[in-house]
Amino acid sequence: MAHQPDSKTVHTIRGRLSRLVAWAFAIVVLIMVTIGMGVSLFNSGTDMVSYKAFFIRPLLQSYYLENGGWQDLTHTSVEFSPLPFEREHRWWSGVYVLDQDGKVLLDEGKSDTLLVGQLLTLDSDLSTHPIIVNHVEVGQLAIRADEFGIARYLIDLLAPLTMISIFGGLLTVIFGMLLTRRVVYPLAEVIAASQAVTRGDLSARVAVGGSSDIRDLTDNFNRMADSLEQNEIQRRNLLADVAHELRTPLTVMRGKLEGILDGVYPPDENHIAPVLEETYLLERLVEDLRLLTLAETRQIHFEIKEVDVNALVGRLIPLFEAQASEKGITLRAQTTPGLPAVLADPQRLEQVIGNLVSNSLRHVPEGGEIVVETGKTAAGLRVSVRDNGPGVPEADIPHLFERFWRGEKSRARSSGGAGLGLAIAKQLVEAQGGTIQAQNHPEGGLEVTCQLPG
């Protein structure tokens, strides 16, 4: 009976997978923050100076053009819109505007300091950028690499980056929890169930859930487990059935041969012939098993050609007439004229019909009748073997084509056969693209119909 994998194992696997997912998300967030900080640090030094020059110099050029010179220049006269996270005071920190003679016009944005009007002494911390109007240098922009200003710049830049990282981390946690519930938990159950199957517990199944891909995975796993379990059951049943079928003739042969060796039976034809009959039975059983195995694994070679089914039935009926006469059974063909040829292996098709007729001969009582009928279908043609015997209980019909299956009475071992004829017929028909089914006839008896594609 199918059951869920051990809960302790599932919880252990869930914990391990959840930790892996958490570590993966944490690493992603850490990488994002590290990259952001690296970019900021890389751009913070001399690039801060370049940013200031890039934004301030065009505004000073526009002011010079509009006013015809530097008169009345103050930082309020030079207005610009900072970036959303920028502070306006930073733009003038460490910035000096010089005229053509190198005198200070603006001292860090102010026009009323002691340095205004004085010559600015340039040092290694200052970088100058010419202010050119109409191809003429009208002044200079001197910018100092202000470490404190850079620190404030980093703080202002990292503050939103930190907020974004925190927000991204929260989203990551939320999505991680959803992903864990929808993917990790079902996946853990699949892993636990697969471990149980590996240990030999073929009844392990997984509850279907999660995303569509996970549902497909669990469905496929459950179908695989069902197939493995059914194959194992069939393997065990086959071994038991083969052992049972071999035991009876071997017991008869052993008893007869021991009796002859012990002098209980004389070594004459009457006592040796039954032993030979049992060897024939064993030979047929082994051959049927070999043929059934080849058919089930689709390893039989079929010589497909056009077959006249009416002619094939006409040749087959005389082969069973003697056996039918011994039991007082009427065997006849009822064919439909003008049937088209069917593509099939004539030898295997004859074997299928022969198995069906043999099966009926074993179960039809004396004075009964067996009819082999042919006819057309929408997709091809059909061949039916119908008898007026006792029929089969409706509950047993689905089992008719199982190997070694017998009913309690009508298919007893004493009636002959090992219970492989219908199983072989089914495999041979399906291997050629056809179908086979059995049903009780309304007028009594069993009817087995093979439908073959045209």
In this predicted model, what pLDDT tens digit does every residue of 147-176 receive, in sequence order?
Answer: 555 555 556 666 676 777 677 767 776 776
Answer yes or no: is pLDDT of 309 > 90. yes
Do 39 and 51 lie in a common domain?
A: no
Answer yes or no: is pLDDT of 428 > 60. yes
Answer yes or no: is pLDDT of 374 > 90. yes
Length of the chain: 454
Answer yes or no: is pLDDT of 254 > 50. yes
What's the CATH code of the domain at 446?
Answer: 3.30.565.10
Q: What is the pLDDT of residue 352?
A: 92
Phi, psi (deg, nearest 5) at residue 237: -65, -40
Do 56 and 175 lie in a common domain?
A: no
Do 264 and 279 lie in a common domain?
A: yes
Question: Is position 205 within any domain?
Answer: no
The string of DSSP codes covering 393-424 is -GGGGGGTTSTT---SSTT-GGGS--S-HHHH
Number of separate domains in the chain = 4
Domain of 276 in residue numbering reads as 212-296
Q: What is the pLDDT of residue 394?
A: 87
Phi, psi (deg, nearest 5) at residue 391: 75, -170
Residue bearing the bigger pLDDT, 110 or 23: 110
Residues 403, 419 contacting (CB under 8 angstroms): yes
Do 339 and 432 lie in a common domain?
A: yes
Do 36 and 158 lie in a common domain?
A: yes
Domain boundary among 279, 296, 313: 296
Question: Is position 81 within any domain?
Answer: yes
Do 252 and 179 lie in a common domain?
A: no
Question: Is position 231 within any domain?
Answer: yes
Give the 3-state secondary structure of residue 127.
Answer: strand
Q: Residue 180's closest CA among 210, 207, 205, 215? A: 210
Do 41 and 182 lie in a common domain?
A: yes
Domain boundary among 144, 164, 181: 144
Question: Is position 310 within any domain?
Answer: yes
Q: What is the pLDDT of residue 45?
A: 46
Question: Is position 432 within any domain?
Answer: yes
Which of 297-301, 321-325, 372-376 comes out lowest in average pLDDT?
297-301
Q: What is the pLDDT of residue 411?
A: 41
Do 309 and 273 lie in a common domain?
A: no
How far apart are the two ends of the chain, measured CA to CA in Å?
Answer: 43
Do 91 and 134 lie in a common domain?
A: yes
| Report field, pTM of the whole predicted structure over 0.85 | no
**For residues 13 and 185, what is the distance between their CA atoms, to the nearest angstrom?**
9
Q: Average pLDDT in the 196-213 region?
A: 77
Question: Is position 109 within any domain?
Answer: yes
Do 315 and 436 lie in a common domain?
A: yes
Answer yes or no: is pLDDT of 442 > 50. yes
Domain boundary among 132, 167, 198: 198
pLDDT one-digit tens code per residue, 120-153: 887 877 888 999 998 899 999 998 876 555 555 5
Residue 275: Cβ within 10 Å count: 16
Confidence bin at 38 (pLDDT 50/70/90): low
Question: Is position 19 within any domain?
Answer: yes
Half-sphere exposure at residue 201, Cβ-oriented, CA atoms within 13 angstroms: 15
Question: Any alpha helices (H) in 297-403, and if so which ranges?
Answer: 309-326, 346-363
Beta-sheet strands, E only, within 247-326: 305-307
Do 321 and 423 lie in a common domain?
A: yes
What's the CATH code of the domain at 68?
Answer: 3.30.450
Q: What is the pLDDT of residue 410?
A: 41
Do 231 and 280 lie in a common domain?
A: yes
Q: Average pLDDT in the 19-44 region?
A: 62
Q: Would you state the torsion angle of the CA atoms of residues 286, 288, 289, 291, taken in this order, to the nearest 10 degrees?
A: 120
Residues 207, 4 contacting (CB under 8 angstroms): yes
Question: Is position 387 within any domain?
Answer: yes
Confidence bin at 306 (pLDDT 50/70/90): very high
What's the CATH code of the domain at 237?
Answer: 1.10.287.130
